[in-house]
A = this chain, B = another copy of it.
Amino acid sequence: MHSSDKMLKPCPAEDVHFQMIQREKIISCPHACGEDKEKDLHMKHRDSNFSNMYSSELLPSRNGEKNTEQFLLEVVNILFSYIKKTYDGNSKVLDFHHPHQLLEGLEGFSLELPDQPESLEQILVDCRDTLKYGVKTGHPRYFNQLSTGLDIVGLAGEWLTATANTNMFTYEIAPVFIVMEKIILKKMHEIVGWGENEADGIFSPGGSISNLYSILVARYKRFPAVKTKGMAAIPRIALFVSEHSHYSTQKAAAVLGIGTDYVIAVKCDERGKMIPSELEARLQEAEKEGYIPFYVSATAGTTVFGAFDPLAHIADICEKHGLWMHVDAAWGGGLLLSKKHSFKLGGIERANSVTWNPHKMMGVPLQCSAFLVREKGLLESCNQQCAAYLFQSDKQYNVDFDTGDKAIQCGRHVDIFKLWLMWKAKGSCGFELQINRCMELAEYLYYKLKRRENFQLVQNTEPEHTNVCFWYIPASVKQIQLASERNRKLHKVAPKIKAMMMEEGTTMVSYQPYGDKVNFFRMVFSNPATRKSDVDFLVEEIERHGKDL
């Protein structure tokens, strides 16, 4: 697809201001239309020959409007064809290739960066190839992550966000988005159960950063000197999390200069819930050793088991010891929108801060993560550096709406619009329905596996979240008597099955070892497109690939 003679041509970009050649030839191009011709987006008959056209002929080029329209429509054509395939249960989830294959270039799909421009024709081919060799994360049989699905209204929101191309640091350049963030934060505060005016928050680039914010503000609240004098000026502090919590607390402790050694993992029960008496014991131990406990992160929806820590009990302990209580509800927060399931987060209203990722259970496109904190002004006093040259206080509007001083970032991506637009389109009740349905699928899978030969559930209790963890046990493994040998073999089963499923591209599901448990599959549901038939498919697919291992 690469024009072999491009080195001989003058650089087309040099035409950017003065190019006058408005191409009007009615030539249909064999490459860009290619395979998707019949699925064309009903647009005006294509009258641009992209193989001789360059990006310099798009806007802001003088005659670029028409070219731009045609080019963008061609792109949307490609995207819509991809969306249709995504939702077509019979299509593949992925077309797997190894990294070295992509590096070497597949069927003319070269990732190398040129000195000279390539034609818009090539750009369109590149777009198609990029999608072809990618993974359809919205596919009903894509179960690999906590974030799955492709919400159409959310997608439209992202397209608009990209077109608006602005930044969250000041009201003056993102007025609507800033106000939307304020309104959504307020709504989330209400849902969490906080009073109307006491709370604050910010949307951050993912749950790990939201969790980092929680430790950052908790530390600053207790030891404000840390901002200027650093950790050297404050006593040794310790954080407490459940042993099943997300590793981002460790990451944050390393970043914040606290040190991962001071993140104390509290034992969990069989279901993966933090044991309150163990928390009490660890707190006392730490104090005895001369550390100052200051922060507990309870998890509402653990990554692997989907467990909910007993929040109310943990809140009692935090209150008693005067500790900051954070709830990492990145995964479980969505359940707050369900009248049926929200009780699992009972006690969250007593937390000092909460992480809640709408890009997980609420199905919002990546990225969309909220950090909520139950004290107004704290985020700002913790993070502001009074850079008057960036955040002028003598503007014509109420500068309380500028958010730059609340963030650890300067520029901040607009993650709010897609969530706002989805909320408008679904209403709270639409989210509830969608979440309840995912919960029903988890229950369906759980009872299916309970009855099924060759499958073994990791936990024999009904799922609290949409996580269902299980082993597939081939006959060859089942017959091994010696437990250690049996485990050694079983450990290799899930990776092998997953590799085969990926090679065929039929489905994707996560696996992992955990503690003393060898590799097992972790199913999760967050995609509204998934049906029971897809669950059935997955189970059969595992059996098909696994039975002769």
Contact = CB atoms under 8 A, between A and B. Distances in A.
A512 B206 contact: no
A489 interface: no
A175 B102 contact: yes
Contacts of A103: 179, 182-183
Interface in A164-221: 164-167, 171-180, 182-184, 187, 205-209, 212, 216
Chain A: number of interface residues, binned into ranges: 35 or more
A258 B230 contact: yes
Nearest to A531: B17
A404 to B, nearest CB: 10
A29 interface: no
Integer count of this chain's copies in the complex? 2
Interface stretch (A82-90, A371-379, A444-452): A82-90
B227 A75 contact: no
Interface stretch (A39-47, A342-350, A455-463): A39-47
A385 B117 contact: no
A100 B398 CA distance: 9
A449 to B, nearest CB: 20
A255 interface: yes
A140 B17 CA distance: 14
Given A166-B134, A398-B100, A508-B172, A72 B256 contact: no
A76 interface: yes
A152 interface: yes
A544 B209 CA distance: 46
A113 B184 contact: yes
A410 interface: yes
Interface stretch (A278-286, A309-317, A413-421, A477-485): A413-421
Interface in A32-61: 41-44, 54-56, 58-60
Interface in A149-165: 150, 152-153, 155-156, 158-165
Contact of A205 (B44, B179, B205, B427): B205
B425 A117 contact: yes
20 contacts: A56-B426, A64-B152, A65-B84, A99-B179, A99-B397, A111-B180, A133-B175, A144-B173, A145-B167, A155-B163, A162-B162, A208-B409, A228-B261, A232-B232, A247-B410, A252-B408, A254-B385, A255-B408, A257-B258, A366-B411
Contacts of A82: 163
Contact of A430 (B11, B96, B511, B519): B11
Interface in A15-34: 16
A177 B133 CA distance: 10
Q: Which 7 A-B pairs have the closest CB atoms?
A: A257-B257, A230-B259, A158-B162, A42-B44, A231-B231, A60-B529, A13-B430
